[in-house]
Amino acid sequence: MKKQPKRKNSSKKDVAANELEMLGKRIKELRKEKGYTNQEIFAYDNGLNRAQYNKYERGGDIRFSSLVRLLKALDISLKDFFKDGFE
């Protein structure tokens, strides 16, 4: 008897990917509002790893502690960060 392929629970992954994409867009928007057109310069000026920061803007997974640190660099509270763009 043939084994059936395992079904991936893609709906949960898709939801998480969509949320992370929204998070990345919001981070990028706030960076630009602060006057930084270049993400590498923003990361350097704020002591953030440039490659990791790039990943966050592209919707990569982010640890909560990293998000808090990033929001401090953007000078915005968690409450205000999630107020816009996450309807």
pLDDT at 54 over 90: yes
Which distant-in-sequence residues (6+ apart) come within 8 Å of 13 by Cβ? none
| This prediction's pTM | 0.80
- Name the helix (H) or strand (E) containing 41: helix 39-45
Which distant-in-sequence residues (6+ apart) come within 8 Å of 22 by Cβ? 85, 86
Can you tell me the mean pLDDT for 61-77?
96
pLDDT at 16 over 90: no
Query: Which is the CATH superfamily of the domain at 16-83?
Result: lambda repressor-like DNA-binding domains (1.10.260.40)
